[in-house]
Structure 1
Amino acid sequence: MKRYEVSNCLLCNSPMDEPATWKTLLMNLFPRTICLHCEEKFEPYENTDADSMSLYKYNEQMKDFLHHYKFMHDILLAKVFRHQIRQHLVKKKEIIGAIPMHPEKQKERTFSHVDELLKAANISYQSPLEKITIESQAEKTREERLNTPPIFALKANQALKNKSFILVDDIYTTGTTLNHAKHILLEAGAKSVTTFTLIRG
C-alpha cells in the first residue's frame, strides 16, 4: 500500500518525505495527505460525554483547515482526517446519519462537506433529514443559535422506529444544529441518537 497519494502536503505544500515507521506503514488505512508537522498542530478534543463525541479542538490550524475546505471549496481536504473518522465509526452498529445541507447552499458550496468527509473515510451513511432553512448557524450569535426556529424536517417514508443513530456533522459549537436533528429523529421513533463531529468549537 502506498504511504502517500500526493507528493506535497495538502495543507502546507511541503514535500511528503517523512521517514517510514511501523506506525505509519501498519496503522494507517489510507495513504497520508498531510505532513507530520501539520498533523501535530491539530489538538485532540478530550471527550467527557459518551453521547457527543468530537475528534479535535477548534484551534488556529483547524480554523484554517475548515476555511479552505468549506469556503474555498477545496474538496481534496476531505481526505485529511479520513483515517481518524473511519477509525471511530467503522465498527459502530448504529446507523450513521449525515447532517444535510440545504440544496441552495450545497449548490453554492459545490459539495456537501459532511457527506464528503464520510465518503473519504469509506463510511456508509444515510440522510433521513432535509434542511428547511438556508440560514447559516455560523453567522449567528450564541443567543441567536440557542433560539433558532426549526432547521430540519424528516424526509418522507422514513421508518425510524427502534433504530439507533449516530448523527455526524463537521463542527459542534453550541450544539443547536445537532440537537434539532436529534429531536426530530427521537420524535419519529428512533431508539437512541448520539452525535459525532470532527471539531468541537
Structure 2
Amino acid sequence: MNKIETLCLLCSQPLQSAISWKLLLTKQFQPTICDRCSAQFEYSSTATALYQYNDAMKNFLHQYKFLQDVALAKVFRQELHARLKHEKATVIPIPMHPVKQRERTFSHMEELLKAADIPFIQLLEKTTTETQSSKNREQRNQAASLFRLMDGAHVEHKEYFLFDDIKTTGTTLRHATEVLLNAGAKNVKSFTLING
C-alpha cells in the first residue's frame, strides 16, 4: 500500500495515511488533522450539534473565520458528511452579510458544506453587518429580523434544514426559521457544528 504524507492543518505535524480500496471506493475523506488535535474537540451531547464549544474550538473558529484559513473547512468534513448525507430536507447555510463576506473573502458556512460534499441552496440574505457575538442575550432577543429572502427566491411548501457554525442563544436560527416559515416553508429544522 502506498502512503501519502501530509501535514495536520492545525499543528503542522506529519500525517500518514495509507491509500486503500475502501478509501477509494467509499466516501471517506483523507484525514486533515492529527489524532492529538482531534482529541481536543469535545463531541456534543445534543442531536442538533456535532461539538461543544471549548478552547480548541475557539482557536479553530478564530483561525478559520478571522484569519481566513479556508483550508480548515476540511477539518470536520468527514463528520459533517456522515451527519448530513442522508438529510432529505433542502440544506440552507446561514448567510453572511455581503460586506462581511467581501472582508472575509469566503462564506465560512458554504465552505464547510462544500468540503463535506453536501448540496445546498441559498434563499436568505443577511440584513445587518452586526454580529450576534457582540450582543448580550437580551440584545439578541430584541434584535430586528436578521434575514430576508433573496430577490427572486422562491420558498416551496417543503422541509428546509438550516446549517450554522455555532448556536449560543438560538437567535440567528430563530430569525432565519421565521423568514422561511412566513414565506411558505412546510417545516424548518436546524443543525450546527458547535453548541455554544
For normalisation by structure 2, the TM-score amounts to 0.91
What is the identity, as a one-letter code, of the residue corresponding to 1:155? M
Quick one: structure 1 residues 55 and 85, their matched pair in 2 at CA, closer, same or farther if it must change by over 3 Å? same
Letter in 2 for 1:142: R
Contact 2:125–2:149 (CA under 8 A) maintained in structure 1: yes
Hey, what's the Cα distance between the residues in 2 that align with 1:69 and 1:62?
10
Looking at secondary structure, tell me which structure has more strand per residue.
2
Shift of residue 157 of structure 1?
A: 3.0
Change (3 A) 1:19 1:128: closer
Give the match for residue 38 of structure 1. 37
In structure 2, what is the Cα distance between the partners aligned to 1:27 and 1:40? 24
Note the alpha carbon deviations across 1:34-62, whole angstroms, 9 max, x for none: 001111111110115xxxx1100001111
Question: Is it true that 1:109 corresponds to 2:104 in the alignment?
Answer: yes
* Structure 2 residue 83 is matched with structure 1 residue 85: no
Q: Does 1:69 align with 2:64?
A: yes
Is the 8 Å Cα contact of residues 2 and 31 (structure 1) preserved in structure 2? no
Partner of 1:145, secondary structure, is helix
- The answer (yes or no) to whether the contact 2:17–2:30 under 8 Å persists in 1 is no
Contact 2:123 2:154 in 1 (8 A): no
| Partners of 2:17 and 2:31 within 8 A in 1 | no
155-164 or 103-112, which deviates more: 155-164
User: Identity over aligned residues, as a percent?
Assistant: 48
Q: CA deviation at 1:158?
A: 2.8
Query: How far apart are the structure 1 equivalents of 2:181 and 2:111?
Result: 26
Question: After the TM superposition, which residues 177-188 of structure 1 pair with which residues of structure 2 at under 5 Å, given as runs?
Answer: 177-188=172-183
> Matches of 1:161 and 1:114 in 2, distance apart?
22
Gaps of 5+ in 1: none
RMSD, aligned α-carbons: 2.5
CA distance in 1 between partners of 2:18 and 2:29 (Å):
17
**TM-score under structure 1 length normalisation:** 0.89
Unaligned runs of 5+ in 2: none
Alignment check: 8 A CA contact 1:3 1:25 kept: no
Amino acid at match of 2:123: P
* Structure 2 partner of 1:142: 137
Output the CA distance in 2 between the equivalents of 1:97 and 1:143: 27
Alignment-mate amino acid for residue 35 of structure 1: C
Superposition misfits of 4+ residues, deviation over 4 angstroms: 1-4, 18-21, 23-28
Q: In structure 1, how many angstroms separate the alpha carbons of the residues matched to 2:79 and 2:24?
A: 15
Residue 19 (structure 1) shift: 8.3
